[in-house]
Structure 1
Amino acid sequence: MKVNLDKIRRAAKKTVLIGMLLMVGGFAFGQSAQNIESSNPYVKLGQKALIDGDFKAAVTNLEKALPDEKNNLDLMYMLGYSQYQIGEYKKSIESFSAVLNGRPDDVNAYYYRAKVSNTLAADPQTKLNDKQRADLLESSIADYNKAIGLDDSDMKLYQNRAMAYRDLGNLVGTPTSKNYNKEAAATYYDGSIKDLETVLAKNPSRKDLNLELKKLKVYRSSL
């Protein structure tokens, strides 16, 4: 019997994505069955596209569903996640903000809004000035703070906050930046170092984070 390797790969990719959504999202299969039970055809198409990894199609269909599903927080979560995947960062932030307006204890929505804000701030292709980048990084850190306040056992929150602290330290610690502030940079680097040490206390074998920690200490001492 001839084995269709492409079909197997597609099925494996779909299984991995579903598992990821179950683990970090909780939006389509966890907190509410609203999306699954929706009779809106665009919701169903958007869900299928998301599970298939076609995030552009997911955004297209979920946006078409919005007029009738504007209060569907699970749809907004899916939309924000898909927008993030295709680089529509500002729209993604707006979508996750809508989720948090209706579900202010959603740890994963804080996590993703923080992650998107950091990604947007660090993207050299975006036409943002240093002040705008700093504001985004501060918003990212604030969201990680809220997420950690709700779940202080999730190490990915500390790891990602460490990167936001690092990026903000790099930004305000650069003498050519209009936001240059040596003292503030030191504080941000200290925050990043502390967060990485928290993660490494649980996972000491993380070579990537050990290397990042060494770099951060060099940045801190070079101010």
Structure 2
Amino acid sequence: MKRNFVHNPWKAVRLGLASAALAVLALTASAQEQHNNPNVRLGQKAVLDGDFKSAVTHLQKALPTEANDPDVQYLLGYSQFQNGDFPKAVESFKKVITLDPKNVSALYYKAKANNNLAVSNTSGLSTVAKEQLLKTVIDDYTKALGITPNDAKLYQNRGVAYRDLGILVGTAGTKNYDKVAATAAYKNASTDFEKVLSYDSSRKDIQTEVKKVNVYRESLK
């Protein structure tokens, strides 16, 4: 990305996994940064304003000349994600990862977008396609953990993906029912949730998730 000074505040945005709010706050710190491309500048401002629809419009206009800039592709994917356009967000984050393979935040959001698609009742995906998608989600979180192995948020979200996979393949009567695979998925989910608790044992939400997956596993037929 072409900038007028050396400091790279975008790194804070890429690493802001905790919430969309953190990412926007990190980006606010770089609001005075002037990109040479006016459409990128307009896209930045739109993100800061929470106008993600306009951000997508401006950033897409910038792509003919900025297609190889992972930061621009990241902001586009992030805006698409916030708009709920998960298929397009996935494609944008794929491009970020191609350009910047160790971009943990791109792996995180790509996985999260795919997880949303896999559990959606309106995605039009078959149960087999959803199963494959959840396996991709788990793989992306695992890759991210290979880069930042102590990130509780990654363990938490991978645990959710394992749980969702267990529910999908552990529902009797479905085309892809597989008790063995469901048992393994629930066990892995429990392991990841326990890992989160090792960082913060007071997490009531995660304690509840551990109880849920254990009940799910014990209820398999």
- The one-letter code sitting in structure 2 at the alignment partner of 1:21 is V
Give the corresponding residue for 2:72.
Answer: 75
**Does the 8 Å contact 2:14/2:106 carry over to 1?**
no
Considering fraction of residues, name the structure with more helix: 1
Give the corresponding residue for 1:5.
Answer: none
Offset, 1:176: 2.3
Offset, 1:40: 1.5
Residue 24 of structure 1 pairs with residue 16 of structure 2: yes
Aligned partner of 1:181 among 163, 178, 181: 178
1:28–1:22 CA distance, 2 compared to 1 (3 A): farther
- The one-letter code sitting in structure 2 at the alignment partner of 1:82 is S
- The one-letter code sitting in structure 1 at the alignment partner of 2:160 is M
Give the corresponding residue for 2:3.
Answer: none
- The TM-score, its normalising length taken from structure 2, stands at 0.85
Matched position secondary structure for 1:24: coil
Residue 193 of structure 1 pairs with residue 185 of structure 2: no
1:54-73 correspondence runs (5 A): 54-73=51-70
Give the corresponding residue for 1:150.
Answer: 147
21-30 or 60-69: bigger deviation: 21-30
**Does the 8 Å contact 2:24/2:48 carry over to 1?**
no
Offset, 1:29: 7.0
Give the corresponding residue for 2:117.
Answer: 120
Deviations 1:60-114, CA, capped at 9 Å, x for gaps: 1111111111111100000011101111111111100101111111111111111
The alignment's C-alpha RMSD in Å is: 2.3
Matched position secondary structure for 2:16: helix
What is the aligned residue count?
202
Give the corresponding residue for 2:138.
Answer: 141
Counterparts of 2:164 and 2:140, CA distance in 1? 15
Counterparts of 1:201 and 1:28, CA distance in 2? 28
Counterparts of 2:123 and 2:177, CA distance in 1? 20
Residue 209 of structure 1 pairs with residue 206 of structure 2: yes
Matched position secondary structure for 2:173: coil
Counterparts of 1:44 and 1:158, CA distance in 2? 34
Counterparts of 1:71 and 1:110, CA distance in 2? 17
- The one-letter code sitting in structure 2 at the alignment partner of 1:102 is L
Deviations 1:17-61, CA, capped at 9 Å, x for gaps: x9x83751789979xx9xx44322111111100111111111111
Structure 1, gaps ≥5 residues long? 1-17
1:69–1:91 CA distance, 2 compared to 1 (3 A): same
- The one-letter code sitting in structure 1 at the alignment partner of 2:71 is D
- Percent identity among equivalent residues? 48
Residue 106 of structure 1 pairs with residue 93 of structure 2: no
